[in-house]
Structure 1
């Protein structure tokens, strides 16, 4: 678990230090109702990234904190059936706007270099009733296709793919969630 936390911190450090031309950046939703956004999201697909290299299934749990920020708990199941997790906090990048958040994980990197390891978390699309979401970053290195359900149907999959392509993401590189049937026994 310490390795996952350190890796998340290192990846966010790199993401936080990256620069991008926001005029070419993907477009976010107008606003996000964080009360409706909280809860569990299941990763359906993601672009390859170092800090999730061992993950076959991932999920995120968000809960609104009294100060208006969001508590983050990311869980990842490896091919061996082990669960790894990382905790952090998401805060608006601009006061009063909730479409672009900073996420900072609670790890030794954040303790040593507070504020430096923030990663972009841009909400690019929200499905009806907050049932699905696309989340990315301004330079299109990171992308997550999320759903409230562990599995999605083909129509929902195609809709999310289309939205990601419209935003300029390379969807040919997506890593898809491993179905529960493919998981080692005893890991459901």
Structure 2
């Protein structure tokens, strides 16, 4: 039985945003190098989480996320809606679902690759967090566009190097693309030895 729990992860994610936004730039003298230019239209749609660094809202003793997806849709010229979906097994081994709905705001219009992502439902609080925080979602690598004109994979990280994800349009990446994404993360100071590959239904 699958049960959806809307926005259950919001408190954890809010704490994450404060941590990343307020302290990330001081932790590393060398900032993340984003890609030169992100074509937003080619970034939209559904992504599968191919790799991630362990984090407190996807990897807990009683909840290990699998079949994780992220979906992006246009809200305005500078903002996107974000829907993150995580499946996990409860104590009775039943599949449960967490869905977090948020917003991504483009902070660097020269590249479109530095964004602030938040999952706060209260507009006033959301605006305060955005005002006091730094971009926490940096696109640092992209695959070739597929036949539909969409990027085939993406590498995303936080400035403090604590959070990283490899997203893919397909459940699996080729060995060559797997290697390429890991090299991108390693070259920017991420601990690639700690990367997790979450279970997907079709793995």
The TM-score, its normalising length taken from structure 1, stands at: 0.85
Structure 1 residues 106 and 174, CA gap change in structure 2 (3 angstroms):
same
Cα deviation code 1:83-142 (max 9, x no counterpart)? 11111111112345411000111336x654643265610000011111011000111111
Q: Which runs of 5+ in 1 are unaligned?
A: 183-188
Contact 2:78 2:106 in 1 (8 A): no
Taking the aligned partners of 2:12 and 2:71, their CA distance within structure 1 comes to 19
Q: Aligned partners of 2:50, 2:106: CA distance in 1, in Å?
A: 25
Q: 1:116 matched to which residue of 2?
A: 129
Partner Cα separation in structure 2 for residue 172 and residue 134 of structure 1: 16
3-state SS, counterpart of residue 139 of structure 1: coil
Query: Which residue in the other structure is 2:14 paired with?
Result: 9
Instruction: Give the whole-Å Cα distance in 1 for the aligned partners of 2:126 and 2:82.
Output: 19
Q: 1:128 aligned to 129, 141, 144, which one?
A: 144
> Relative to structure 1, is the Cα distance of residues 31 and 57 closer, same or farther in structure 2, using a 3 angstrom cutoff?
same
Aligned ranges for residues 9-158 of structure 1 at < 5 Å?
A: 9-21=14-26, 23-53=29-59, 54=63, 55-79=65-89, 80-107=94-121, 112=125, 114-116=127-129, 120-129=136-145, 130-158=151-179
Are the counterparts in 2 of residues 69 and 91 from structure 1 also a CA contact under 8 Å?
yes
Q: State the 1:181 CA deviation.
A: 5.6
Q: What displacement does 1:66 show?
A: 3.1
Give the drift of 1:8.
1.7
Q: Mind listing any 5+ residue stretches in structure 2 that lack a counterpart?
A: 146-150
Count of residue pairs brought into register by the alignment = 181
TM-score by length of 2: 0.80
